[in-house]
């Protein structure tokens, strides 16, 4: 195995979720998604993708995905200024993390690697 190519999450409002991921988190909408797959969208983030699938999200049981950030404190401040509820940064191993949720309640970890 080389890497994770994409992660898929179920969202209840596709357009609102696209706006959140492209606006608040800076992901880029990909034009590559085939239309025959039904309601959804592919978003590019770095060399990976996030696939949004329109439907009814399941209950939260700790599932989440993590996005690498260079400066966790700056990202938390920016997102809070924009009105998002983001947890305080906490250490995890040699790194730090914070969490927020997308409009459908999917958990997203903001992950800052240990500074060298």
Under the banding of pLDDT at 50, 70 and 90, the label for residue 116 is low
**CATH code of domain 6-112:** 3.10.180.10
Q: What is the pTM of this model?
A: 0.92
Instruction: Work out the average pLDDT over 69-74.
Output: 96
Residue 95 confidence class, pLDDT cut points 50, 70, 90: very high
Structure tokens at 93: 């191993």
**What pLDDT band is residue 32 in, cutting at 50, 70 and 90?**
confident
Percent of the residues in the chain that have a pLDDT greater than 90, as a whole number: 87
Confidence of residue 114 (pLDDT cuts 50, 70, 90): confident
DSSP string covering 11-58? ES-HHHHHHIIIIIS--EE-S---GGG-SEEEEEETTEEEEEEES---
13 in Cβ contact with 106 (< 8 Å) = no
Boundaries of every domain in the chain: 6-112
With the C-alpha atoms ordered 6, 61, 84, 16, is the resulting torsion angle positive or negative? Answer: positive
């Amino acid at each position: 195995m080389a890497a994770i190519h994409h992660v898929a999450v179920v969202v209840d409002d596709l357009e609102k979720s696209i706006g959140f991921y492209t606006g608040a988190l800076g992901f880029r909408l990909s034009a590559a998604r085939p239309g025959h797959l039904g309601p959804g969208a592919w978003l590019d983030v770095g060399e990976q993708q996030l696939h949004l699938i329109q439907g009814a999200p399941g209950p939260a049981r700790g599932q989440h995905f993590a996005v690498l950030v260079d400066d966790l404190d700056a990202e938390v401040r920016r997102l809070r200024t924009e009105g998002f509820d983001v947890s305080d940064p906490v250490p995890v191993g040699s790194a730090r993390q914070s969490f927020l949720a997308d409009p459908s309640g999917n958990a997203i970890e903001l992950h800052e690697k240990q500074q060298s």
